[in-house]
A and B are shown apart, each in its own frame.
Chain A
Amino acid sequence: MPTNLSTDYKLASPPRVKRRKLRVRGTDVTLVEQVRKQAAADLQIDIEFEVLDFLTCQHRAAMDPENYDVYEQCFHNLDIVWYWGALQPIDTDRITEWDNIGDLAKDGGISKYTWQGHGDAPIRKLYVQPDGMIGQQQMRHISMLPTAHNMDSFGYDRRVFGDGGPDGPSWAWLFDPRAKGRIALVDEPAIGIFDAALAAEANGDLTFADIGNMTIDEIDSLMALLETLRQQGFFCGTWVAPQEAEAMLHADRVSVQSMWAPSYGNLGAMEGVFTESVPREGYRAWHGGASLARHLSGAQLDVAYDYLNWWLTGPAGAMMARRGYYMTVPKRVREQLAPEEWDYWYDGQIARADLQGPAGNTVVRAGQKRPGGAYRDRVSRIAMWNMVMDEYNYAARAWKHFVSSLREVTA
């Protein structure tokens, strides 16, 4: 028997501590490589990003809840995943910057006079109620930590539409005969269908009692209108990834289409020709966030909280800003941006210098001004939020049908 166990078993070197690994499932809206690298470096952990398209992402988040730790998506399809029991409530007492999160997410608008917009304003799904439902009554626990968000519109060719006159561009342009044969929509039933609905309402073809929650009859009418326009050859295609939208643009195949912020930094030869619209009817907004998987506990839950907290510290917000997205704690983002960047992206001022995107390429030229102006101005022009409507199944199937018949013709 050895007399001194402790010395006999003393290790030659301290044990190698295995770095913790965090698995994040989400979409390319927030799962950006620069974000992953920066978070991994700041938190001293390994981070794995699983980038999926919107539909696959929400489907897998609900039905395969064991294989991710953090879920990054939008508030508009949160209820599916939540009521499938895949997530756990987030304790706002553990969110360091919670008090600094802007009023848009927490209170539903930047002031009590602001109209919240149709559809799924994030606040309507934010707070975990005592009965396990998610709603807007303020509570200590939340369903998703609100992070990146933006107000979307469409892009248009000034050679076709000019500057839109005193009222500015209209969603009606998406169905405008001037662009016949050169119109594209985003292929996502919780988003593209609303671009179409806004267009139909703006040009007077249809009216919706609640555009954010259409009835079966309203969906039928909208799909019938889309089918008529398709047969008349109005559309040249749909796109799933923003790169596809950019490709159609570079090939000069579109005059007006659904478009997302980062694409305006990659217009190529169409710079100065293709423009982001500020629709007179208002924007279609979306709000992203991060949620905790139900299975998390102990040390792994702590790591996930660290990651959520990191999102609000500034570096992620700066990278999002360079893609044209806003963050819920602007104060911390400002610390991470050059003054000229802040002034352009958040303050709506004319760019004093060329500005770079997250990958280092120039996305804004000196002298440009962000369409729609400052954050406050853009936020107060939200017409509606992306939405997974009650009749989502019905709408998604009809939409799928429309997109596939469009593909058959354009292929």
Chain B
Amino acid sequence: MIRERTLGQEPLYQVISHILRGNITSGRLPQGLVLIEGPIAKMMQTSRAPVQAALRNLNDAGLIHRFRGRGYLVGPPTETLTPIRRSLDDFKLDISEQSKSALEIRGTWLRVYDQVEAEIAACQIFGEYRVIETELADYLGVSRTVARDVLSRLNERGLVRKGATSHWLAGPLTARTLREKFQLRGIVEPEALRLAADHINPLEVGRIRDEINSGAVTGSDVLENAFLRICLERAPNTVLVEIIRNNRLLLSSVDKALSGLGLPADSVALEQYRTLFDLIGSRQIDAAAEYLKEHLRLLAYKSLARLKIVAIIPETESLPRYLTPV
């Protein structure tokens, strides 16, 4: 049990790195074999990021090396090797039981994380809650290890914190938090848009504008996400994009929770996105950045007013049982 827990908490890239290293040193993966992120991630059922890190790791250790094509070659950089391009499935990788269970735990983790993140973000509008780890594990049907992992990640993202008695606490979402998050959006998003200007695909912007004009999109949340995806995330600054994504986390959960309560679509916001995409589409990036700032100012104000409705809604109605009001 203890061994499994250790593995469960081992970063995923290390688990992957461990598996590949074993199979390279045993000779199961021959020298010259081309290793590409995508197929490895698919095989291990993870995202690409940990595979990327694992490959870098092996590269630093001299077990694999970069070559003139995509990916890495198995073997030290000193050797002149002919690239072998074959599917990983052909080599029947040797994966220990420990690594397998570590991958499974990680798989479960990925599956449940998004759900818990959404629920915990949503509850904060109703006040302050204690998150009970055992109840969470029970609710999700996972081990306490996984539940704790999930909470640690939420803690990193600022959605839960440890209270004085070392209980996990979430919320309350105050007007101050909301205002600060919108203020941060107003500072970083227009700048990200300016940086992204040359990397935005005009065809994608055109497609969104067509969808708005044809009435295919009616929710401003869809446009908000599209704007993030096809514009802001194109900024060549991953740290900035990560800040923007994290900062939006709680805000979009609030929007989801409010529309769950019956908040109708905001036609004014929809119009504002249309204008925004029009400006970006016509390459008026400075104007678009200023317009975005104003749109965010109004949105902050409206969100604040809308959120006041929850003061008088009985909060316990639809919350999962691992959350108890403080």
Contacts and interface: CB of A to CB of B under 8 A. Distances in A.
Contacts of B307: 393
Which range contains the number of B residues in contact with the other chain?
20 to 34
B298 A131 contact: yes
A88 to B, nearest CB: 13
A391 interface: yes
A62 interface: yes
Contacts of A140: none
A85 B266 contact: yes
B172 A394 contact: yes
A367 B298 CA distance: 54
B305 A82 contact: yes
A390 B179 contact: yes
B290 to A, nearest CB: 15
Interface string A55-91: 1101100110000000000000101101111000000
B312 A55 contact: yes
A326 to B, nearest CB: 27
B264 A393 contact: no
A133 interface: yes
B43 to A, nearest CB: 48
Contacts of A397: 127, 172, 311
B309 A84 contact: yes
A392 interface: yes
Which of A55, A131, A388, A389 lies at the interface centre, i.e. has the most chain B CB atoms within 10 A of its CB? A131
Contacts of B264: 84-85
A353 interface: no
A216 B125 CA distance: 15
B121 to A, nearest CB: 16
B309 A63 contact: yes
A361 B249 CA distance: 59
A77 B311 CA distance: 12
Contact of B311 (A63, A132, A133, A189): A189
A85 B262 CA distance: 11
A206 B165 CA distance: 30
Which of B262, B263, B304, B309 lies at the interface centre, i.e. has the most chain A CB atoms within 10 A of its CB? B309
A393 B301 contact: no
A83 B306 contact: yes
Interface residues of A, number: 28
A396 interface: yes
B268 interface: yes
B153 interface: no
A132 B268 contact: yes
A80 B313 CA distance: 13
A84 B311 contact: no
Given A80-B306, A84-B263, A132-B268, A216 B298 contact: no
Interface in A105-143: 131-133
A315 B309 CA distance: 34
B311 A393 contact: yes
B241 interface: no
Contacts of A313: none
Contacts, number: 68
A79 B308 CA distance: 9
Given A80-B309, A83-B302, A84-B264, A393 B179 contact: no
Contacts of B127: 393, 397
Interface in B220-277: 261-264, 266, 268
Contacts of A189: 311
A367 to B, nearest CB: 44
B309 A390 contact: no
Contact of A393 (B172, B266, B302): B172
A167 to B, nearest CB: 36
A129 to B, nearest CB: 10
A205 to B, nearest CB: 23
A131 B310 CA distance: 25
A82 B264 CA distance: 12
B261 to A, nearest CB: 7
Nearest to A134: B305
Contacts of A85: 263-264, 266
B176 interface: yes
Contacts of B176: 215-216, 391
Contacts of A62: 309
Contacts of A215: 176
Nearest to A58: B312
Contacts of B212: none
A81 to B, nearest CB: 9
A390 B311 contact: no
Contacts of A83: 302, 305-306
A321 B181 CA distance: 46
Interface string B116-147: 00000000010100000000000000000000
Interface in B149-178: 172-176
The 10 closest A-B pairs by CB, nearest first: A390-B175, A396-B311, A132-B268, A79-B305, A83-B305, A393-B311, A55-B312, A392-B308, A85-B264, A391-B175
21 contacts: A55-B312, A63-B261, A77-B308, A79-B308, A80-B305, A80-B306, A80-B309, A83-B302, A83-B305, A83-B306, A84-B263, A84-B306, A131-B268, A132-B268, A216-B174, A391-B174, A393-B307, A393-B311, A394-B172, A397-B172, A397-B311
